[in-house]
Structure 1
Amino acid sequence: MRYQFSSRRRPECNIFRRVLTVCLVLIILFLQVFLITHYVADQMFDDSAKFSKLTEDVQYQSISGASIAYRVHGSGEQTMLLIHGLMGSSYDFAPLWSSLGEEFTMISVDLIGFGLSDKNAELNYSKENMAKICVQLMLELGYSEFTVLGHSMGGEVALNVAYTFPDHAERLILIDSAGIEDLQKGFRNAVPVWIIDYIFQNYLIQRLYFPVGFAEKKLASSELFNQFYFFNRQIPGTALRKLITDNDSGRLKDKLDQIKQHTLIIWGLEDTIIPVEQGYRLEQAISGSSLVVINNAGHLPFLEKPEDVLSAIKSFID
């Protein structure tokens, strides 16, 4: 009996090989673009003179063994503590400084792990401890009573300030704030440090994600992004991982009715990071609070619609 073997390959095998080859080529090109972009960005950000305006007004104070960076703006009789969000810095609030400077002396703080403050992985990165550090900073600077403004994660830190230190926090302003839910649920211990380090330090990944925070994507310019990335590229993955493991997000959600400060809540209607529905829930939970929803704004309304945010704040403090 004779058997004849065909030398022709099945069409399915050829198609599979071609698809696999194309995929491998695309992956290699993708990695090359990432690495080249990151390298070029590193060269640009190593030129400190280009970004001197981002650091020229920064001061430092040692709090519980950690170096805390902060900025002072304005000369008003009232005092305001401003607390930035995740992957933010004290410089985020630059659009508010000049307009509020007559009414307030403003202390914009870099939370531990962010901006130019310490990023030691041994620090306690819970929102409760961040609130304690913020209050200790204000007391060291001679301010015992102040309005607290917090954005996003910084809003939850501000809630902790108001809840834990009611004698120091006179009023509360929350902008697209965390705190009503545990936003880090399911993320804790799930991601290796090296992935966190790569994602949060890679220029292209952050650049691609940056417009998500804006309702009008054209506002997410390279110039504005570079102001954020200048600080974020310095955050080690170990600090971000500690932020995740020290997570106490949402710990006050059943205690918000105990916050008695006069409270203003500001929200971008088109926020896709923390939807406005959570703003309505905060308004219901905090007795006597008022919610101002800003149209055509996302997660960063003080950058997208600064005039509307300032108008809401000034109406609140008058």
Structure 2
Amino acid sequence: MGTLTHIIQSFKGEHALVTKQLGNHTTINGNEIYYEYYENKSAKQTFVLLHGFLSSSFSFRKMIPLMAANYKVVNIDLPPFGKSGKSHQFKYSYENMAETLIQLLENLHLGDVILVGHSMGGQICLNIAHQKPSIVKQIVLLSSSSYLPRMKKAMIYSSYLPFFPFYVKKYLEKSGLEANLQNVVYNQKMIDEEMRQGYMEPFLHNEIFRALSRMIRDREGDLDEKVLKTINTPCLLIWGSHDRVVPLSIGKRLKEDLPNSKLVVINDAGHLIPEEKPSQVMSIIVEHLQN
């Protein structure tokens, strides 16, 4: 494989080997899971991409061409986000999400995968490795959320109220798409109409707000230090130096708690590093895998 330049050249020259299966939906644990599978016929390793909270598989669109040249890639919409189902009966806990994704990977006959998780997706990666380490070869955590407790009881009880989804919608509208995008990137000049549309689209339908209400009461909190110390899967931690959502101090703490981990910091980058620094992120990953 070699350098990232070689990877990009390979993608341009051997794109015929890479096929994208569009619009894959499968029902697992009573909810519909949407995923894209880039099946590189010559690749031996598989990346599984898990996005962050209030995001979707859209956030990895700049990294996929760099990955698909030499790897198989599975890009997943975590329920209830993106094009995945928003069932009111599905349990939106990290434990159940991890169980659901393990079943998806088994259904696709994939094992020994490289999990890549951004923000909340990183926490799901850690849950998968905790539940079934045999299915995971490596973990790449991109500004991974960690150490967040469960929601306070008052908020959990409130989530049962009939009007609560409306409250969630109004809260997100008040915070505003533009302000949220400005908060997650260091270089705010990169925010364009494609980004605005891509991150807004999943929230144009009311079903997402009902599902988020259920997620508020189902989310059990992040894995604690005792559990993290039992995860021996090799973990590469990549952080933006100017992350305002999950600050670098969290990455440093996570490195201490994960026994087989390495932390790399990207300068002049915020929280949304798959968008902001895709080539640099991929270069770091490739170098790590080759060592």
Q: 2:36 is aligned with what amino acid? A: R
Residue 68 of structure 1: CA displacement? 0.6
Matching residue of 1:67: 32
Q: Describe the shift of the 1:315–1:185 C-alpha distance in structure 2 as closer, same or farther (beyond 3 A).
A: farther
1:307 aligned onto 2:279: yes
Q: Which runs of 5+ in 1 are unaligned?
A: 1-54
Matching residue of 2:13: none
Looking at structure 1, the residues matched to 240 and 166 of structure 2 have their Cα atoms a distance apart, in angstroms, of: 33
Matching residue of 2:23: 58
Residue 274 of structure 1: CA displacement? 0.8
Looking at structure 2, the residues matched to 138 and 239 of structure 1 have their Cα atoms a distance apart, in angstroms, of: 24
Q: 2:82 is aligned with what amino acid? A: G
* Percent identical: 28
1:126 aligned to 87, 93, 105, which one?
Answer: 93
Residue 145 of structure 1: CA displacement? 2.2
Task: Please tell me whether the aligned partners of residues 179 and 253 of structure 1 are also in contact (alpha carbons under 8 angstroms).
Answer: no
Q: What SS does the corresponding residue of 1:258 show, helix, strand or coil?
A: coil
Looking at structure 2, the residues matched to 281 and 105 of structure 1 have their Cα atoms a distance apart, in angstroms, of: 31
Residue 59 of structure 1: CA displacement? 0.9
Q: 1:142 is aligned with what amino acid? A: H
Q: 2:223 is aligned with what amino acid? A: R
2:235 aligned to 256, 263, 266, which one?
Answer: 263
Looking at structure 2, the residues matched to 262 and 295 of structure 1 have their Cα atoms a distance apart, in angstroms, of: 23
Q: Describe the shift of the 1:246–1:183 C-alpha distance in structure 2 as closer, same or farther (beyond 3 A).
A: closer
2:186 aligned to 215, 227, 232, which one?
Answer: 215
Q: Describe the shift of the 1:140–1:56 C-alpha distance in structure 2 as closer, same or farther (beyond 3 A).
A: closer
Residue deviations 1:212-248, cap 9 Å, x none? 1011111222321211111232353211111110111
Matching residue of 2:138: 171
Q: 1:69 is aligned with what amino acid? A: Y
Residue 118 of structure 1: CA displacement? 0.6
Looking at structure 2, the residues matched to 148 and 218 of structure 1 have their Cα atoms a distance apart, in angstroms, of: 30
Residue 204 of structure 1: CA displacement? 8.0
Residue deviations 1:109-157, cap 9 Å, x none? 1111111111012210001111111111111111122111111111100
Structure 1 length-normalised TM: 0.78
Looking at structure 1, the residues matched to 262 and 150 of structure 2 have their Cα atoms a distance apart, in angstroms, of: 23
Looking at structure 1, the residues matched to 116 and 252 of structure 2 have their Cα atoms a distance apart, in angstroms, of: 18
Residue 261 of structure 1: CA displacement? 0.8
Matching residue of 2:44: 77
Residue 199 of structure 1: CA displacement? 3.3
1:239 aligned to 211, 216, 222, which one?
Answer: 211
1:114 aligned to 58, 73, 81, which one?
Answer: 81
Q: 1:179 is aligned with what amino acid? A: S
Looking at structure 1, the residues matched to 47 and 273 of structure 2 have their Cα atoms a distance apart, in angstroms, of: 19
Residue 255 of structure 1: CA displacement? 1.0
1:227 aligned onto 2:194: no
Q: 2:188 is aligned with what amino acid? A: K
Looking at structure 2, the residues matched to 87 and 97 of structure 1 have their Cα atoms a distance apart, in angstroms, of: 20
Matching residue of 1:199: 171
Structure 2 length-normalised TM: 0.84
Looking at structure 2, the residues matched to 156 and 267 of structure 1 have their Cα atoms a distance apart, in angstroms, of: 15
Matched residue count:
263
2:61 aligned to 77, 88, 94, which one?
Answer: 94
Residue deviations 1:174-211, cap 9 Å, x none? 011012332755754457331102333x4982233221
Q: Describe the shift of the 1:80–1:124 C-alpha distance in structure 2 as closer, same or farther (beyond 3 A).
A: same
Looking at structure 1, the residues matched to 203 and 39 of structure 2 have their Cα atoms a distance apart, in angstroms, of: 26
Residue deviations 1:33-77, cap 9 Å, x none? xxxxxxxxxxxxxxxxxxxxxx99221112122211000125121
Matching residue of 1:16: none
Q: Describe the shift of the 1:144–1:61 C-alpha distance in structure 2 as closer, same or farther (beyond 3 A).
A: same
Task: Please tell me whether the aligned partners of residues 150 and 219 of structure 2 are also in contact (alpha carbons under 8 angstroms).
Answer: no
Residue 166 of structure 1: CA displacement? 0.4
1:280 aligned onto 2:252: yes
The higher-RCO structure (CA 8 Å, 6+ apart) is: 2
Q: Quote the RMSD (CA, aligned, Å).
A: 2.1
Looking at structure 1, the residues matched to 92 and 224 of structure 2 have their Cα atoms a distance apart, in angstroms, of: 16
Task: Please tell me whether the aligned partners of residues 21 and 37 of structure 2 are also in contact (alpha carbons under 8 angstroms).
Answer: no
Looking at structure 1, the residues matched to 210 and 221 of structure 2 have their Cα atoms a distance apart, in angstroms, of: 19
